[in-house]
Amino acid sequence: MRASAIAHPNVALIKYWGKSEVTANLPAVGSLSVTLGALRTKSTVNFDADLESDVLILNGEAQPSEQPRLVACLDALRRLAGRPEHAVVTSENDFPTGAGLASSASGYAALVKAAAEALGIDSDTPELLDITRIGSGSAPRSMFGGMALLTMQGDRMDCRQLLTPDDWPLAVAVAVTTERKKDITSRDGMEQSRLTSPFYEHWVTSHPADLDAAIQYCKDRDFMALAELAEHNCLKMHSVMMTTRPPLMYWSPVTLACMQKIMELRADGVPVFFTVDAGPQVKAVCEPGALADVVNALHDIPGVIRVIAGALGDGASVTGRD
């Protein structure tokens, strides 16, 4: 009972920050993301009757702090399959882990995909998306390629592909500004924001209008309208983060330099916009024809360690089964 799968991280253009229910990991708002083809997680899940507990080995190291999420995820899969065996999950990221590059999203998407295959669960089973969400609120989006849309109706989550990579070919350049892990996880940070930021409530109530407008801009392939709205939504999320007590300052001076450069490029007519998550890395989303110029411009900014660039990726997929 062993299978492997790959998944790509995703980056939200309309973001999620905050939960309506912590135990079930229910996002308080919907989100819209692009899947990053240039970054990849590969996971192998091996269910074995001789194991006494579940184990996660990430990039060659055991991850005891991940145990509660891992076990909750695997328990839900075992219940669905009616099997008792524990599992060893071996996962490799080809990019910095836990530094605002959505490694938990690709990690749990690959894990659920591989585990479902190993347990013989039909990959179209809708519960698999909810199980992916146990790992991370943004992980269901990594099950889909191109652009993914996650919506909430009360306590019901729906996640689906909005556009394939061919429907709207876009590219993303990620400016890596540090390889260091962040001090505060998204999970803890967003709960602190819900409890203490005076802007949190407005973030939640103003969010559906952003999401609806973004969906329309994507359907119309209106890059410049999406660019303005995505940057606004990102900055709104960061204003909630910064006004959290104690403050969540995920930016470094290099982050800001990258954001300013991207705004300058767009003012000069280059179809590009920035987005930043819970970490100092900057993602530049652009039309494919602008990618080389965007990569060069980001490379030249002092403090940028490297730039990882590529087209939108496909959804999580099984790569092998024994």
Contact set with ligand PMV (CB under 6 A):
12, 15-17, 31, 104-105, 136-138, 186-187, 277-278
Cα 307 to chain centroid distance, Å, stands at 18
CB of residue 277 to ligand PMV, shortest distance in Å = 4
Number of Cβ atoms within 10 Å of the Cβ of 64: 10
Say if CB 283 and CB 38 are below 8 A apart: no
**Cβ-based nearer residue to ligand PMV, 34 or 227:** 34
**Cβ-based nearer residue to ligand PMV, 42 or 187:** 187
Number of Cβ atoms within 10 Å of the Cβ of 95: 21
CB of residue 278 to ligand PMV, shortest distance in Å = 4
Count of residues in the chain: 322
In 3D space, the residue among 277, 279, 315, 258 whose CA is nearest the CA of residue 31 turns out to be 277
SS3 172: strand
Strand order in the sheet with 86-93: 61-62, 55-58, 86-93, 41-48, 2-7, 317-321
- Tell how many helices (H) and how many strands (E) occur in the chain: 8, 16
CB of residue 111 to ligand PMV, shortest distance in Å = 14
Virtual torsion, Cα 308, 313, 112, 19, nearest 10 deg: 80
The enclosing H or E element of 317 equals strand 317-321
Number of Cβ atoms within 10 Å of the Cβ of 172: 26
**Cβ-based nearer residue to ligand PMV, 17 or 217:** 17
Cα–Cα dist 59/57, whole Å: 7
**Cβ-based nearer residue to ligand PMV, 188 or 201:** 188
**Cβ-based nearer residue to ligand PMV, 186 or 197:** 186
CB of residue 275 to ligand PMV, shortest distance in Å = 9
CB of residue 286 to ligand PMV, shortest distance in Å = 19
Number of Cβ atoms within 10 Å of the Cβ of 279: 23
Cα 127 to chain centroid distance, Å, stands at 19
CB of residue 242 to ligand PMV, shortest distance in Å = 13
CB of residue 85 to ligand PMV, shortest distance in Å = 28
Find the angle CA(131)-CA(134)-CA(137) to the nearest 5 degrees.
Answer: 110
**Cβ-based nearer residue to ligand PMV, 55 or 105:** 105
**Cβ-based nearer residue to ligand PMV, 16 or 203:** 16
**Cβ-based nearer residue to ligand PMV, 2 or 187:** 187
CB of residue 105 to ligand PMV, shortest distance in Å = 6
